[in-house]
Amino acid sequence: MGKLAYDRSLSVDFDDRTLAHLQIVIGMKLRRGESFYFSWKDDQQVGDGRTSIWLHPTIPLVYKYYGSRSPSINPAWIHALEMSANTNAGLHIVAEPSAAQNGTHTA
């Protein structure tokens, strides 16, 4: 389980695989100077609602991974997440495409 810390005021848990994909997409957008919303469904332990944050290149983010290995990256999931980030609603976690859906083969 990893942790995304936002502006020293909010910290949220995501599994390491999801967090790695989010880090790539968020990094791509912020590197281009783009600001956008990021929304997710909260865990039941924190109220089972939704949270949205405004991401801007000047707002500090910290990605903390608790696993010792870097997860494998699914380019199709990166693309799907990036497409969601380019909408008016902003980035939200979409289902990861399966290997059959993204045209890759697993060994």
- The one-digit pLDDT tens for each residue of the chain (107 residues) are 899 999 888 999 999 999 999 999 999 999 999 999 999 998 877 777 899 999 999 999 999 999 888 999 999 999 999 999 999 999 999 999 985 555 544 43
Ramachandran class of 10: left when φ > 0, alpha when ψ lies in -120 to 50, beta otherwise? beta
At how many degrees (to 10) do helices 16-31 and 75-85 cross? 50
pLDDT given for residue 79 in this prediction: 96
Q: Where are the domains of the chain?
A: 2-102
